[in-house]
Structure 1
Amino acid sequence: MFNDKESFKQVFRETLIGKLGKPLEEASNADVYKILGNMIRENAGKNWAETNQKYKVDKDKQVYYFSMEFLIGRLLGNNLLNMGVLEVVREGLADLGFCLQDIEEEESDAGLGNGGLGRLAACFLDSLASLQYAGHGCGIRYKYGLFEQKIVDGYQVELPDYWLQNDNVWEVRREDKQVEVRFWGAIETREENGRLVFDHTQYEAVRAVPYDVPIIGADRRHVNTLRNWSAESITQPSRTFGSFAGTDYHKFLEYKRSVESISEFLYPDDSQYEGKLLRLKQQYFLCSAGLQSILRTYNKLALPIELLPDKVALHINDTHPTLLIPELMRILMDVHGLGWDEAWSITTRMVSYTNHTILSEALEKWPIQMVRELLPRIFLIIEEINARFCGELMSRYPGDQNRIEQMAIIHEDQVRMAHLAIVASHSVNGVAALHTEILMKREMRLFNEMYPHRFNNKTNGITHRRWLLHANPDLANLINQSIGTRWVSHPQEMIGLIKYCEDASFQEQVASIKRQNKLRLAEYIYSKHSVHVDPDSIFDVQVKRLHAYKRQLLNILHILHLYNQIKDNPSMDMVPRTFIFGAKAAPSYHLAKRIIKLINTVAEVVNKDPDVKGKIRIFFLENYSVSLAEKIIPAADISEQISTASKEASGTGNMKFMMNGALTVGTMDGANVEMHEMVGDNNMFLFGLRAEQVMDYYQHGGYHARDIYNGDSRVKEVLDQLIKPGPICCHATEFESIFHSLLDNNDEFFVLKDFASYVETHVEIDRAYRNRQEWLKKSIINIGHSGKFSSDNTISRYAAEIWNISPVRL
């Protein structure tokens, strides 16, 4: 492509003129981004083609990772890094009068995901390519992302996230790879050559067109594919609906709108029937289109269908893509003519499933009638799977009707997708040791008893290339200077940093890098809020999806308590704190949206109060995204990982903060448990109930939130401020729902129970931060141990223990 700065500048100038007909002097930042992005993608194209050809010629086993989300963020910087030309391009652009950081800001965050589920999938794709595995992503090309969040008068307002408005330079439309997906209609049966044949008639056809994004590995030569499907109308109106006038044309327009809605929005509101139906459509659309494409690729290998499990692995990222199980059965039986037993054997050897939650609302269930009407053939197959599974249960556990009802795939007019995924998979994994233990011993105990070798743990991971090398290059360079560069390809070797944890010179360099990152974030905050931030204050950060179990509420109630202390004693001695929040609440999640309003209300009161004198600053940074996280995480001193113990499956934000030197204040939940095993009590701040205590309260009762309200004056004071007239409560009913969720609903997530412990822990944080050398020692120990949480390690375990794939040497 180009080997040095001068050749880059020459190629860039020529491409700019050739593509846009503009001299360099007239080029805008948007022009530079477009040209640079196209240059990188086109140059990756050769390796992309060679990678795919290698897979085809050698007939390597390939894994296809199905996910409704791929939160890939911006790709320009990450691709430049993986192609080994980041510094060449940075310096070359500077010579041409442009700043690479400004150019990166021209790229929209891809609206293909929402939170941790989608970011994990993106990290996995990066690791698959970087470790040279044949592994691809299968997703949907949403026209609009979740939503663009604006904060207006403290409230969340949702605007359309039209991230494709300026096109996506990284994707390639593959119209020649389109497939047809069918909905509705009827199933007619007939006998042919002694076997029953199922004909799908009167269906509505949808055209699925793939848009491929190259996933460039760290060796730059290995390029995998993220294939996102777009739903389009199948034909022109004149071919299907007759004339362009009258009823036929209106029918076509209605059909077209219905079709395009399938890939229009990420997670349409499912609080009403129409939204639920659209979500089910999306899920089947992804599964059917993806499987048809995969099997078409397999057919080109000219191998018998019986060898399919030896060449293809299918992975379900949470329950959303579970319909690929009955869809694969349909294709194997109805298209390839296999019998049930043969098709079932192939399916169960190909499919593996990752469970991401123990929250009941996230364990998907679909109404029988909806599935039967929308997907008539698929429902028949699910019904047969359930009948055969229940028959097996009756044989194993005769007379145990209660067990059968608890485990059935279809029960009480609902299709339980998690049960279907478990029954039809050869592997079911949790995403942290504690999460997997809870699944095996509690939530999925009956399935674990029946399939004792099926469940396993694969703790989540993050790609250190994006979250350290790209997001925090100064720290990465310091690590290179200290222990060499081998850690970049073997991240667990970051443990070598531990020997520097008490080295005064190394500590000062870490401190200097952290302060520069804090200054950059302070500049960003000033640009958004016009408020100066003290870079010597503790940057205390909680950025993640807004949900009651993640307990942003606990955080803001503690801040309100701190404010009350300052009002009582304006001269109190404390290390200044800058509290930073970032989160989106689902549009229909009213309690979560009220918590956002509360955070912003407290921020407005505190930040303007002269009595505070800079001791506390609070900022809610709107429209939290991957690119915003890249600014926040390197600057954090404290990482708030305070979910109710037993509720967070793993977390990956905790790993990103740890890798960038922040210290964790957290519960013993998710991957926090494994972080604690590595760094010990002295290097993180633990508080609150343990998982077994939480589960005991849920099972046996005994917790009364009002007892804490009546017994702890601090709790009573902050809760009363939510409902009694004053600076926080300007409208009598504004925060009533929060108040009642804690007291009348008995504090489902133990916010009040953990309040005292949380307050004491923050007092400990204040003391610890005053000892600069000890704090830096803790920070370095966390950085050194963080390499274990690289997604490279996680993917290596998936590859060896679940997918049975090996690296492909190019």
Structure 2
Amino acid sequence: SSHEFDMEVFSKGDYLQAVEQKVASEMISKVLYPSDSVERGRELRLIQEYFLVACALEDIFKTYLSTHDDFDAFPSKVAIQLNDTHPTLAVAELMRRLMDDHDLSWTQAWEITQATLAYTNHTLLPEALEKWSLPLFEHVLPRHLSLIYDINHRFLQTVTTTWPGDLERMRRLSIIEEGEPKHVRMAHLAIVGSHSVNGVSRLHSELVKTSLVPDFYALWPERFNNKTNGITQRRWLLQANPALAGLITETLGEAWITHLEALRELESQAQDAAFQQAFMEVKQTNKARLAQRIEQTTGVRASPDSLFDIQVKRIHEYKRQSLNLLHIIHTYLRLIEDRTTPPVPRTFIFAGKAAPEYWAAKQLIHMIHSVAEVINNDVRAADWMKVVFIPDYRVSLAEIIIPAADLSEQISTAGKEASGTGNMKFALNGALTIGTYDGANIEICEEVGEDNIFIFGLRAETIETMRRQGTYHPQAYCKREPELARVMAALRSARFCPKTPDLFSWFYNALMEHGDYYFHLADLASYIPAQLHAAEVYTQPALWAQKAILNVARGGKFSSDRTVREYACDIWKIQPVLKGRQ
């Protein structure tokens, strides 16, 4: 907090001006990453990103220089991992510090910068690939822009040497994007300024190379690698699910707490009736706890004896909470119009937050609540369906939700989810995944086995081909599948939004009139039978328990301990300190 206050100005009666500088400086840390829909918001966001980068580097330099007189050892003592493009200003700031503050030559500073920095791309979506307009960048960070111009000039010389006369490739690779106004491409700056570039699942890393930045991959293939995400079992099992952690420790000992691969020994218990009973009793207790929280926060009574079908994550069109909602509508119409009861009662549970300026995401939340209100107040559905949206999603709430899940919804459009970690957390807590062949779902499927996961939907390469060739026609799916047509007709009507008749119109139009960019109808056709199959398996308690136990037992790969080891060994080039050795 700033302490600046101009008493002289205050004494003259200009009270607002007296605190103006204090207010301006404190604004930087009042709200992290404000809306970038207006110029003032974009400027404040850029200032905040620089503030965080500059403070981090100040601390790094202070620590390093306390034991070193020069920068020869800097890359061997310091590793900076750029997580998406938000901290990419570190490229220019590190150069500035080395050149302006410590008088290193451009060549020396650049060698140190590239050897120190590495870049992780966490998503293929535009919001993670920042671009800053040149006028704004020059206004806020003129020295950094001059350094970026220099970096780009030297980089394009390399491009010209590699591909002489290829002006189009040069345009694609340039850090400065042409246009009116021109923009600084922060992802390009991160790649040029780093010695390593990685994605966070095997599929995602391939898409980074083949779809996102293929020209950079062609230039520097040796820089690109994969580091599949992981989660810490000490938070998401030991702390979040103490009853299950206790059962596992009682059965296997404590080795799994620090070496998650030790869970593989649980496979021998998967068909043991006594262990299955103990395992499912833990799940039932966790479901009862969540049901209590649901009633406290929403007023909806969810039966712990129903199948808990859970989708909790950031609200986004590509994550397709909307596809889940289409299946819920289908299930309800089957129950009410066809009088076909589902194999098991089910509670559909949502939670998550939307970015403040993301209109479609906020509309999705409104749509879920509207459908829930209709279904939860229909006595004909009372014994078979409940729909709830738990408010104020946060880590402490996730620690209650995740251990209670029976079915984990991981249903992104294939090729859009970089990895996901929620999928790992749910599986580690004994939930079965229903998901697309996307992100880390693919690797979870490989680890737990195809028989212990419910995979549906188009593959990423198929979707890309259909996009490129223009062969996806959502209306055709409705013509072929009467059940899909009925869902869309209900969506178009005010049946699920009697108080706001136009609530679903934008979504209907997006699907039926504007090409269904996220392939809802293409995947709904296989999502419905996959959901039915999951429900049928759930009616067989011993079989479900076996599959759930195997999901836990085979989750060892997805520990963040493994991920960090890979970063340390492959990118940061550091070795572990062995206990008991100097």
Same fold (TM over 0.5): yes
Letter in 2 for 1:294: I
1:707 is aligned to 476
**Partner secondary structure for residue 82 of structure 2:** strand
390 and 496 in structure 1: CA distance in 2 versus 1, 3 angstrom threshold: same
Deviation for aligned residue 1:302:
3.0
Equivalent pair of 1:461/1:789 in contact (CA under 8 Å) = yes
2:71 is aligned to 305
Determine if the alignment matches structure 1 residue 391 to structure 2 residue 157: yes
Determine if the alignment matches structure 1 residue 756 to structure 2 residue 518: no
651 and 374 in structure 1: CA distance in 2 versus 1, 3 angstrom threshold: same
**Partner secondary structure for residue 281 of structure 1:** helix
Deviation for aligned residue 1:720:
2.4
Letter in 1 for 2:49: Q
**Partner secondary structure for residue 381 of structure 1:** helix
Q: Provide, for residues 537-565 of structure 1, a one-character-per-residue CA deviation record: whole Å limited to 9, x for no partner.
A: 10000000000000000001110111011
Equivalent pair of 1:594/1:738 in contact (CA under 8 Å) = no
**Partner secondary structure for residue 277 of structure 1:** helix
- Among candidates 209, 219, 227, match of residue 450 of structure 1: 219
Q: TM-score under structure 2 normalisation? A: 0.96
**Partner secondary structure for residue 393 of structure 2:** coil
Deviation for aligned residue 1:233:
3.5
Pick which of 276-285 and 711-720 moved more. 711-720
Equivalent pair of 1:237/1:249 in contact (CA under 8 Å) = no
1:629 is aligned to 398
421 and 571 in structure 1: CA distance in 2 versus 1, 3 angstrom threshold: closer
**Partner secondary structure for residue 795 of structure 1:** helix
Determine if the alignment matches structure 1 residue 512 to structure 2 residue 281: yes
Q: Which has the higher strand share?
A: 1
Letter in 1 for 2:138: R
Distance in 2 separating the partners of 1:571 and 1:401:
62
Distance in 2 separating the partners of 1:718 and 1:643:
20
Equivalent pair of 2:120/2:197 in contact (CA under 8 Å) = yes
Equivalent pair of 1:319/1:421 in contact (CA under 8 Å) = yes
Deviation for aligned residue 1:727:
4.5
Distance in 2 separating the partners of 1:610 and 1:714:
23
Distance in 2 separating the partners of 1:499 and 1:553:
39
Equivalent pair of 1:723/1:732 in contact (CA under 8 Å) = no
Counting only pairs closer than 5 Å after superposition, residues 524-539 of structure 1 correspond to structure 2 as 524-539=293-308
Q: Provide, for residues 130-165 of structure 1, a one-character-per-residue CA deviation record: whole Å limited to 9, x for no partner.
A: xxxxxxxxxxxxxxxxxxxxxxxxxxxxxxxxxxxx
Letter in 2 for 1:324: A
**Partner secondary structure for residue 753 of structure 1:** helix
Deviation for aligned residue 1:364:
0.8
Deviation for aligned residue 1:267:
2.4
Determine if the alignment matches structure 1 residue 790 to structure 2 residue 559: yes
Equivalent pair of 1:723/1:729 in contact (CA under 8 Å) = no
- Among candidates 715, 719, 732, match of residue 488 of structure 2: 719
Distance in 2 separating the partners of 1:390 and 1:518:
58
Determine if the alignment matches structure 1 residue 583 to structure 2 residue 352: yes
1:6 is aligned to none
- Equivalenced residues, count: 576
Equivalent pair of 1:661/1:780 in contact (CA under 8 Å) = yes
676 and 309 in structure 1: CA distance in 2 versus 1, 3 angstrom threshold: same
246 and 554 in structure 1: CA distance in 2 versus 1, 3 angstrom threshold: farther
Deviation for aligned residue 1:234:
7.0
235 and 339 in structure 1: CA distance in 2 versus 1, 3 angstrom threshold: farther
- Among candidates 239, 247, 262, match of residue 478 of structure 1: 247
2:368 is aligned to 599
Equivalent pair of 1:768/1:774 in contact (CA under 8 Å) = yes
1:431 is aligned to 200
289 and 729 in structure 1: CA distance in 2 versus 1, 3 angstrom threshold: same
Distance in 1 separating the partners of 2:241 and 2:494:
45
Distance in 2 separating the partners of 1:486 and 1:572:
45
Letter in 1 for 2:419: S
Determine if the alignment matches structure 1 residue 728 to structure 2 residue 497: yes
Equivalent pair of 2:497/2:503 in contact (CA under 8 Å) = no
- Among candidates 327, 331, 336, match of residue 102 of structure 2: 336
Letter in 1 for 2:188: H
Letter in 2 for 1:367: S
Distance in 1 separating the partners of 2:124 and 2:87:
18
Identity score, percent: 46
Distance in 1 separating the partners of 2:114 and 2:557:
31
Q: Provide, for residues 462-491 of structure 1, a one-character-per-residue CA deviation record: whole Å limited to 9, x for no partner.
A: 010010000111111111111111111111
Deviation for aligned residue 1:252:
4.8
Determine if the alignment matches structure 1 residue 551 to structure 2 residue 323: no
**Partner secondary structure for residue 315 of structure 1:** strand
2:233 is aligned to 464
Equivalent pair of 2:49/2:86 in contact (CA under 8 Å) = yes
Letter in 2 for 1:525: I
Q: CA RMSD in A?
A: 1.6
2:337 is aligned to 568
**Partner secondary structure for residue 233 of structure 1:** coil
Deviation for aligned residue 1:456:
0.6
1:364 is aligned to 130
Letter in 2 for 1:302: H
1:269 is aligned to 35
Distance in 2 separating the partners of 1:559 and 1:732:
19
Determine if the alignment matches structure 1 residue 648 to structure 2 residue 424: no
Deviation for aligned residue 1:722:
2.8
Determine if the alignment matches structure 1 residue 696 to structure 2 residue 465: yes
Determine if the alignment matches structure 1 residue 410 to structure 2 residue 176: yes
Deviation for aligned residue 1:357:
1.0
Equivalent pair of 2:173/2:215 in contact (CA under 8 Å) = yes
290 and 249 in structure 1: CA distance in 2 versus 1, 3 angstrom threshold: farther
Distance in 2 separating the partners of 1:571 and 1:385:
65
736 and 247 in structure 1: CA distance in 2 versus 1, 3 angstrom threshold: farther
- Among candidates 81, 85, 107, match of residue 315 of structure 1: 81
**Partner secondary structure for residue 72 of structure 2:** helix
**Partner secondary structure for residue 158 of structure 2:** helix
Determine if the alignment matches structure 1 residue 619 to structure 2 residue 356: no
Equivalent pair of 2:331/2:342 in contact (CA under 8 Å) = no
Distance in 2 separating the partners of 1:264 and 1:422:
31
1:379 is aligned to 145
Distance in 1 separating the partners of 2:172 and 2:3:
42
Distance in 2 separating the partners of 1:801 and 1:288:
27
Determine if the alignment matches structure 1 residue 260 to structure 2 residue 26: yes
Q: Provide, for residues 54-100 of structure 1, a one-character-per-residue CA deviation record: whole Å limited to 9, x for no partner.
A: xxxxxxxxxxxxxxxxxxxxxxxxxxxxxxxxxxxxxxxxxxxxxxx
Equivalent pair of 1:570/1:611 in contact (CA under 8 Å) = no
Distance in 1 separating the partners of 2:495 and 2:162:
64
Letter in 1 for 2:142: P
Q: Which has the higher helix share?
A: 2
Equivalent pair of 1:658/1:783 in contact (CA under 8 Å) = yes
Consecutive unaligned residues of structure 1, counting only runs of 5 or more, are: 1-231
1:324 is aligned to 90
**Partner secondary structure for residue 752 of structure 1:** helix
Determine if the alignment matches structure 1 residue 670 to structure 2 residue 439: yes
Deviation for aligned residue 1:582:
0.2
Determine if the alignment matches structure 1 residue 295 to structure 2 residue 61: yes
**Partner secondary structure for residue 85 of structure 2:** coil
Deviation for aligned residue 1:493:
1.1
Letter in 2 for 1:337: D
Equivalent pair of 2:199/2:227 in contact (CA under 8 Å) = yes
Equivalent pair of 1:583/1:623 in contact (CA under 8 Å) = yes
Pick which of 561-570 and 286-295 moved more. 561-570
Distance in 2 separating the partners of 1:733 and 1:293:
53
727 and 461 in structure 1: CA distance in 2 versus 1, 3 angstrom threshold: closer
**Partner secondary structure for residue 534 of structure 1:** coil
